[in-house]
Amino acid sequence: AQSVTQLGSHVSVSEGALVLLRCNYSSSVPPYLFWYVQYPNQGLQLLLKYTTGATLVKGINGFEAEFKKSETSFHLTKPSAHMSDAAEYFCAVSGGSNYKLTFGKGTLLTVNP
Amino acid sequence: GAGVSQSPSNKVTEKGKDVELRCDPISGHTALYWYRQSLGQGLEFLIYFQGNSAPDKSGLPSDRFSAERTGGSVSTLTIQRTQQEDSAVYLCASTPSFGGTYNEQFFGPGTRLTVL
């Protein structure tokens, strides 16, 4: 079985500040990890993914995430928040023969001017 | 190219009625997924289609829910005798090929279902 925990249902930052969204996972097989973003009334858009290889993954819009196996974490960061980053962010895991995505509950990011 | 499309975008129905939700995956994508997004439960997997293989229905919450995929393309999710707890956003996603544990799933905009 797989599960994802996103710490903090709501994160608020100032424009230009560091963004840190936390994700911890549980998986009995080597995980594939994903971050998706959802803007209001839209579907999910992939930000970045970790499959194998380099543990620091860079995605779109300046986001990156680091896979830390020892900590079972895959936190999402961005050095400088922009107003357009305000959205809901979902961490997800799949792995082995399990192609289904198991999602965390999501973190709503608010960016203050 | 065109992304995943879903219709209708919004559906309001009365308790006890049947509803059909439609998904058009990206052309050439062989795998198709349905997920449900609700306030209480977050994002949940419902069903998975891959080519002509038998679908994985393990996420369907009750026998009131069913889905089919015709010609390996368009999919319809049917909810019979709708209940208020069925109110949610139903998302469809597709991927280019099997082995999709690491493939990006491309999501449609969803259908917002409200059961009165």
pLDDT at A71: 94
Q: Is the pLDDT of residue B99 over 60?
A: no
Q: Is B14 on the interface with A (CB under 8 A)?
A: no
Mean pLDDT of chain A: 93
Query: Minimal Cα–Cα distance from A78 to chain B, Å?
Result: 21
pLDDT surpassing 70 at residue B101 = no
Residue B100 has pLDDT above 70, yes or no: no
Question: Token pair for residue B75?
Answer: 């999919």
A45, A60, A100: which to substitute to probe chain B, counting the most B Cβ within 10 Å? A100
Chain B residues whose CB is inside 8 A of the A51 CB are 102
User: Span A83-102, mean pLDDT?
Assistant: 88
Structure tokens at B34: 């349905």
How, if at all, do strands B106-107 and B31-38 pair? unpaired
CA-to-CA distance for A67 and A76, rounded, in angstroms? 10
Distance CA A3, CA B96 (A): 25
How many other C-beta atoms lie within 10 A of the C-beta of residue A18? Answer: 11
Start-to-end C-alpha separation, chain A: 41
Question: Each residue of A23-64: pLDDT tens digit?
Answer: 999 988 888 999 999 998 888 999 999 988 889 999 999 999
What DSSP line would sit under chain A, residue for residue? -EEEEEE-SEEEEETTS-EEEEEEEEESS-EEEEEEEE-TT--EEEEEEE-SS-SEEE-GGG-EEEEETTTTEEEEEESS--GGG-EEEEEEEEETTEEEEEE---EEEEEE-
Check CB contact under 8 Å for A43 and B33: no
Judge if the upstream peptide bond of residue B8 is cis by omega within 30 degrees of 0: yes
Q: In what order do the strands lie in the sheet with A2-7?
A: A2-7, A19-27, A73-78, A64-68, A56-58
* Model confidence at A108: pLDDT above 80: yes
pLDDT at A29: 83
Q: Do A43 and B110 touch (CB under 8 A)?
A: yes
In angstroms, what separates the C-alpha of B27 from chain A's closest C-alpha?
18
| pLDDT score of A52 | 84
Closest CA to A23 of A39, A42, A36: A36
pLDDT over threshold 90, residue B2: no
CB contact under 8 A, A99 and B42: no
The residues that bridge with A7 in the sheet, in sequence order, are: A22
Give me the mean pLDDT over the B9-23 stretch: 97
Residues of B in contact with A102 (CB under 8 A): 45
| Contact call for A102 and B45, based on CB within 8 A | yes
Q: Where is pLDDT greater, at B52 or A77?
A: A77
% of chain B residues with pLDDT over 90? 70
* B109 shares contact with chain A (CB less than 8 Å): yes
Contacts with A90 from chain B: Cβ below 8 Å: 43
